[in-house]
Structure 1
Amino acid sequence: MERRRGSPDFLLLFMTLALVGFGILMVFSSSYILAYYNPDYNNDSLYFVKKQAIWAILGFIAMLFTMNIPYTVYKQKFPTIAIGSFILLLLLFTPLGMKINGARSWLGIGKSFSIQPAEFAKLGLIIYLAGLIAKKGDRFRMWKQGLAPALIATTAFCGMVMLQPDLGTTSIILFTAVVIMFSGGAHLKHLGMLCGVASVALIIFAVAAPYRLARIKTFINPWNDGMNGLEQGYHLIQSFYAIANGGLSGAGFGKSIQKYLYLPYPQTDFIFSVIAEEIGFFGCALFILFFVLFLWRIILITLRCEDTFGLLVGIGVVSMIGIQAIINIGGVTGSMPITGVPLPFVSYGGSSLLVFMTSMGIVLSISRETFKKRAQRQEQQLRKLSH
């Protein structure tokens, strides 16, 4: 009879729930003015926070579910998972796909319930690449037998997301895939070729549309056109105002000024600006430190895993979360061009929160199996000593 599975890493579980709880608070603080004065949200100041709370509950259920499934199940089903997530991307270009704010990124019926397939594609590609590399072993370094299928899958996923268009999510998927393939033993020259071709494609894609080119110009100097209310620079300047108003100690929870219909998308893309305004530099430093420790905890759990698949899934998850956080915070602070991706676990967004919490469930499942194997080795050592 198989031994009972080990306990999950409770510290990581607590840190995940703490991030989600903080996110719900900040979604409320950043969105209640916008929701109250907008008839599209029924003039309900709790519109966004109620929906976020529902998604958090669904995410918690998904995390518990995946936490209690041996992660090796995903290793066996990795082609099916990849195909399923890719089909969701294809459905965007059917009547089920919805175009909002110029992007065909949502799948559903009306605004009452919709999902973003690109969020699920992130996790689907991570599992596929980890499963492929674990299955191929040393053969993964060979071009035709291992690396070519990985590059084809990465290109297909990135291409479908780019067609929406969603440059930010495309970048996250691409960089996460590169980290996984590098960790799996891919030759640097092959990854260099991939990065080179991808960089050229992203640059062409970025300058092909006027609004994307405007974002690059805004990043260089937002003050050129930033005082015109409808121009790209306005968004970044309002973010600067919020961060500056926060100062060292912050204006206080709920006391942001810029969320009073000045700052665009305060509950999603620019939620870190509201955080900076309300808790200040010291509060943001503590938040970022907590986030770094959270990522470090995932890395520790991942490195303790002796299975290649589990190791690469953990690397993929921590890369996905870390890269997305860097892109979001870098964009709203003017450190890099704005691409419109949410801050992991914190920004409003049901699909994003559900996928991130599901990913943490898989990492917690890895921690359970690792704990079980460690306990088994300790038990074997005790038996040897007793004899």
Structure 2
Amino acid sequence: MKTLIKPLVLALSLTTLMACNANNRKQNKSELIAETVIKTTSKDHKPEIKVALLLDTSNSMDGLIDQAKAQLWKLVNELSYAKCEDESPSLKIALYEYGNDNLNAEEGYLRQVLSFSNDLDEISKSLFSLTTNGGNEYCGKVIKTALNQLEWGNNEDDLKLIFIAGNEPFSQGKVNYKDASKLAHQNDVTVNTIFCGDYNLGISTSWKDGADLTHGNYMAINHNEATVHLASPYDDKILELNEKLNKTYIAYGSAGRKKMEMQAEQDTNALSYNKANAVSRTVSKSSRLYINSSWDLVDAEKDKDFSYDDLDDKQLPKELKGKSKDEIKTFVAKKAKAREKLQTEIESLNIKRRNYIAEQNTEGSNSLESAMLEALKTQAEKKNYKWE
């Protein structure tokens, strides 16, 4: 039974006894170096939620990939409310596909689609790029590859999670999934397994064991369940504000125009599911997690190392070419003020929207989003993460 997926998530210690990460485990350094290349460390590190999505793109899981595409913005919005002590964690998402005949056999039929990124538009684009084809699904191999290729860091306040989804036996391939899960556990990475099918079948094919080895969550979902987006009386106004929000971006640099086009493309992709999903994306765009400092002057100005003196006139949009530094500052400040006002309006409407949807939504869901959020919140609580 070959499968697919077409179409995904934090405070400085006060004392030795009061840390955001309550367990304060000490790792064996020689074991760490021998087993993996995860070496990143940082002082004054803002807590991060790091989520690696490992998605099976073999033949019969288009429904799961569709869920990932359609539910990305709901997931991002929920994560934007996370708190670790008095800090708001940042979010980075990585994406792998595996089990696809179009992928390199020597590398285990897997591919890193996107390394850890906080670029939400790039994440959306990557999900929409996935296609399916029959293949061999090697869960142990893709887990080990994600552990070794990605920069997980070793900050104990970070929430580091792998979500792997599929429906073939978890034990396939030359890399033993038990070794891969133990390696994850050594590096404070929790593996959560999502079996697309019957709960007991997932247990008998080792999906639950793969999660248990890292104290992760095992979940079984209906990957063919259609995503339900509930409409609200506030949707049209929020989408209207989205159009105004887009006009506050000031594209600069060699990638500016392409990034702005990508932003519009992902707006369209979200709307392709329905209006309510486009609303969820708009809410994400008004949140603290939507950062575009690599190409937008309004966001870039907030970076500590940004300087107007470094701007090249050739890289500026036409409305700013030939302008003085003071004129550019004034223009950026005007756009920033307009954006802040729009974001406040969107956030206010979204509170009303969330309350309305909560009253209307009385049925549970057995989808990718619900499974991921359940696991993420359960594991976040172990590190004293809270939700606003």
Is TM > 0.5 for Structure 1 vs Structure 2? no
Task: Choose between structure 1 and 2: higher helix proportion.
Answer: 1
Q: Say which structure, 1 or 2, has more relative contact order (CA 8 Å, 6+ apart).
A: 1
Q: Report the TM-score when normalising by structure 2.
A: 0.28
Q: Report the TM-score when normalising by structure 1.
A: 0.29
